[in-house]
Structure 1
Amino acid sequence: MTGIIYVVPSLPLNQILQGNCIEILNSLPENSVDLIFADPPYNLQLQHDLYRPNLSKVDAVNNKWDKFSSFSAYDAFTSEWLHAARRVLKENGTIWVIGSYHNIYRVGAIMQNLGFWILNDVIWLKSNPMPNFRGVRFTNAHETMIWAQKKKGAKYTFNHKAMKALNEDLQMRSDWSIPLATGKERIKSNGTKAHPTQKPEGLLYRVLLSSTDVGDVVLDPFFGSGTTGAVAKKLGRNFIGIERDKKYIKVAQKRIDAVTKSSTEALTLPDKRNQVRVPFGTLLEAGFLSPGQKLFFKDDPSIRAVILSNGHLKYQEQIGSIHALAKALADGPVNGWDMWLYKESGKLKVIDELREKVRKLKN
C-alpha cells in the first residue's frame, strides 16, 4: 500500500508580501508562526484635520487606511484579521497588538471572544509625546500593547532572565518608557516622514527579545516602515511582513537591507535551566577545593568559613550549605555561588568560577 505524502507549504521567510493582510494570512500554512506583532489601524475618531499652533497639519490623523464608517465596521475588520492571525499562530505562540484608547479596548474584547488568553497589557510611556494642541484633553502620552497566547495553558516563550538583564538585573515591569522614533531613527523619504506611525525600534527590541528565540518566525500583518523586520533581522529572528502599500514596502525593504545581523556569539544567551548541575561537593571530588580549606564571605572577607568533608561550611557554631550559611550571614536570600570566595595565587575569586571549570570538564 502506497502512503500518502502531504507537502506542507513553505513559509515566505524574510519577505514582505504585498496585498490584503486577511487574504495573505489565510493563504499561509496553519500553526506555522511563533509570534505575531500587529500595529493595526487605530480608527481615530477625528472629524476634522488636526493642526499645530503654527498651522502645520499633524500626520496620521487623516489617512484613508485608518478610516472606518462605524464601530461595527471596525469590529468586523478586527475580528476577521485576528481570526486569520490566530489560524497561522502555533499552538504555543503568542501575539502582541498595540493600540490607543480609540481602539485597544475593542480589540481586547474581540481577542478574548476569539479564544486568545491575555497574559499582560504593557504600557508604552512616550518620554516625548505629542502635545494636545487644542488644549481640551490630557496629552496622550502612552499606548497600550496586549500580549496574549493563542491557547490558554500552553507553554509559551518568555525570556524572563534576558529581560531582567536588559533592565539592570531588575524584573522588567509592564510600563516601558521609550521615546518616539525621532532624529536619525525616523525613516524619511524626500525629506519627509516615510511613514506617519513608525514605531521605535526600542519597543520591538523588547517585544522580540522577551517572547521569541533565535530562529523563530515573527509575522507582522501591518508592516508599514518595517520596524519589526529590522529588529527581527538584528536579533537573528525570521520575519514575514504583510503590507498593501507598495510605497511602504520599498521603504521597509531598503531599511531592512541596511541592517546587519548580530553575531551568533551575541545572540546565544546563557540559559541556566539547560546548564549541567554541579553540586558544591563536586568541587571537592574534582580536587578544585579541599576539606579544611577556608572560604571568604564576599560582603565581609574577614568572615572565613571552613569547608567540611561533606561539602558543608562551618563558621563559628553555624554549619550549612554554601547557600544556607550565606543566607544566614547576609540576613536575606542570596546565591551561595556568588557569595563565597576562594584564594588562588594570593587573589580572591568567586567559587562560581570553579563550577564553570567543572562544567567544561563534563562537556
Structure 2
Amino acid sequence: MSHDKIRARREALGPHALIRGDALNVMRRMEGDSVDVVVTSPPYNIGVAYRTYRDRREEDDYIGWMRVICAQIARVLKPDGSFFLNIAGSSAQPWLPFELITQLRDLFVLQNHIVWIKSVSIEEKTYGHFKPVNSTRFINHNHEHVFHLTHKGDVPLQRLAAGVPFTDKTNINRRRHAVDRRCRGNTWFIPYETVRHRKQKFLHPGTFPVALPTACMTLHGYDENTVLLDPFMGTGTSLVAAQELGVTGVGIDIDTRYVAVARRRLRVALGQAEPGDEDEMLSEPAMSAEGDGEPLV
C-alpha cells in the first residue's frame, strides 16, 4: 500500500499523542509554529532492516525526501525551537550525513554539531556498547551525529542544566563558577544498556537510549508547556523521555507494530501498566490500517 493512501490514526495517552501514519502527510496537517523541540532519528538509508520501510533508496532520492520532511519540520517548529536530527553514515557510506545536512542550509542554521559516542576505549578499557565489524578495511563505527538545527542560530541553551560536574573542584572557586557544573561540550558519551537479544530492543533495528532525547531536551530547556515532536517515533523512546521530563510528546510512525510497542512503553511510563517482558510488549494489539484510535483531525 502506498504511504499516501494510509489514513493516519491518532491515539491519546495522558498528555501525549501517538499517530500511526506517514510522517510527511501527518506533519502537513499540523499547525505551524506549534512544536518547541523535535528529536528524531529517521531512516539512515544504509540498508537497515525495518519492517515496513525499504532503507535503500538512491542517494539523491533519499536526500530529496528528507529535505521535504525537514521543510515540514521547519514549518511546525516555533521560531525559538530546536531540531535535533540524529543520523549516521556507515563505513561504506560515510558522506551521507554531510550530504544531507548541506542540503538543509536554506531551511535551518546548524547551531551545534554533537557527536554521540556509543563506545570509547580509554587506555586498555572499553566503555559502552561495542559492535564488532568483520572487515579488513574499516575500523569500528562507534559514533553517530546529532545535528542541532534552529531557524536563525540564536536559540539560548541550558548549557549547565545539560552539563556535568567539575572533576577538579578547585575550578569552581578559581574560575568563579556559581555552581558545580560545566558545559558538557559537543561530544556526548551515551552508551546503550547491554542487551543480549533483539527482543530487548523491541525487535526494532534502530533504537536509541532514553538518555539521548533527554539530553537534547535538557539542553534546549523545557517546562510543563513544552511540546516535543518525533516524526519517526519507532518504539517511542522520545515519548518515554518526554513523559519522564513532564512535557507533552507527539510521536508519528508508519509501522503499526512499532506504534503498538510505543503505546505499551508509554503506558508503563505513565503508570497505566506494569513493566512486562518483551514478549508481552510485542503481543500488544497493533493499530490496523483502519485504526483503532480516532481519525487525525
Q: Which residue pairs with 2:212 in the alignment?
A: 203
* Residue 173 of structure 1: how far off its partner (Å): 1.3
CA deviation after TM superposition for structure 1 residue 91, in Å:
0.9
Ranges in structure 1 where 5+ consecutive residues have no aligned partner: 1-11, 47-59, 262-363
Q: Match for residue 31 of structure 1?
A: 33
More displaced 10-residue stretch of structure 1: 68-77 or 240-249:
68-77
Name the amino acid aligned to 1:178.
I
Aligned to 2:63: 75
How many angstroms does 1:192 deviate by? 7.2
- Aligned partner of 1:92 among 77, 80, 93: 80
Measure, in 2, the Cα distance between the counterparts of 1:218 and 1:26. Answer: 17
Is the CA contact 2:67–2:103 (under 8 Å) kept in the aligned structure 1? yes
- Quick one: which of 108, 111, 122 aligns to 2:104? 111
Measure the CA separation in 2 of the matches of 1:256 and 1:143: 26
CA contact under 8 A between 2:195 and 2:201: conserved in structure 1? no
Aligned AA (2:81): G
Q: How does 1:35-46 map to 2 (within 5 A)?
A: 35-44=37-46
Contact 1:126–1:142 (8 Å) recurs in 2: yes
Separation of aligned partners in 2, 1:192 and 1:83: 30
The residue that corresponds to 1:174 in the other structure is 186
Matches of 2:190 and 2:32, distance apart in 1: 34
Does the 8 Å contact 2:50/2:204 carry over to 1? no
Decide which moves more: 195-204 or 101-110.
101-110
Tell me: higher relative CO, structure 1 or 2? Use CA pairs within 8 A at least 6 residues apart. Answer: 2
**Alpha-carbon distance in 2 for matches of 1:144, 1:133:** 23
Q: Deviations over 1:236-285 (max 9, x none)?
A: 11110010101000101110111158xxxxxxxxxxxxxxxxxxxxxxxx
Query: How far apart in 2 are the matches of 1:133 and 1:232?
Result: 37
In structure 2, relative to structure 1, the CA distance for the partners of 1:165 and 1:137 (3 Å cut) is closer
Partner AA of 1:94 in structure 2 = S
Query: CA offset at residue 187 of structure 1?
Result: 8.1
CA distance in 2, matches of 1:125, 1:91: 30
| Maintained 8 Å contact 1:179/1:200 | yes
Aligned residues: percent identity? 23
Preserved contact between residue 78 and residue 110 of structure 1 (Cα < 8 Å):
no
Which runs of 4 or more aligned residues in structure 1 lie more than 6 Å from their structure 2 counterparts after TM superposition?
none
In structure 2, the CA distance between the partners of 1:183 and 1:109, relative to structure 1 (3 Å rule), is same
Paired residue for 1:332?
none
What pairs with 1:347-362 in structure 2 (closer than 5 Å)? Answer: none
Shift of residue 119 of structure 1?
1.0
Amino acid in the other structure paired with 1:171 = C
1:15 to 4, 17, 32: 17
Deviations 1:25-48 (A, max 9, x none): 01000111001112111010x6xx
Q: 263, 268, 277: which is aligned to 1:258? A: 268
Q: How far apart, CA to CA, are the structure 1 residues paired with 2:31 and 2:165?
A: 34
2:157 is paired with a residue of what secondary structure? coil
CA distance in 1, matches of 2:240, 2:146: 20
- Residue matched to 2:239: 229
Structure with the largest fraction of helix: 1
| 1:121 match: secondary structure | strand
Tell me the TM-score normalised to structure 1 length.
0.59
Letter in 1 for 2:268: A
Question: Are the equivalent residues in 2 in contact too, given 1:18–1:244 (CA < 8 A)?
Answer: yes
Q: 2:28 aligns to what SS in structure 1?
A: helix
Instruction: Report which stretch shifted further, 133-142 or 230-239.
Output: 133-142
Report the RMSD for the aligned CA atoms in angstroms. Answer: 2.5
Structure-2-length-normalised TM-score: 0.71
Aligned-residue offset at 1:93: 0.8
Distance change (3 Å), C-alpha of 1:99 and 1:81: same
Report the alpha carbon displacement of residue 166 of structure 1 after superposing the two structures with TM.
6.3
Q: How does 1:41-56 map to 2 (within 5 A)?
A: 41-44=43-46
Counterpart code for 1:41:
P
Query: What is the identity, as a one-letter code, of the residue corresponding to 1:78?
Result: M
- The amino acid of 1:113's aligned partner reads D
Distance 1:15 1:164, change over 3 A: same
Distance 1:67 1:183, change over 3 A: closer
| SS across alignment from 2:37 | strand
Residue in structure 1 matched with residue 114 of structure 2 by the alignment: 122
Q: Is 1:65 aligned with 2:53? A: yes
Q: Is the 8 A contact 2:45 2:57 kept in 1?
A: no
Contact conserved, 1:120 with 1:148, CA < 8 A, in 2?
Answer: yes
1:135 to 1:195, Cα distance in 2 relative to 1, 3 A: same
Matched-pair contact (CA < 8 Å) for 1:95–1:149: yes
> Which secondary structure does the structure 2 equivalent of 1:219 belong to?
strand
Q: In 2, Cα distance between the equivalents of 1:174 and 1:221? A: 24
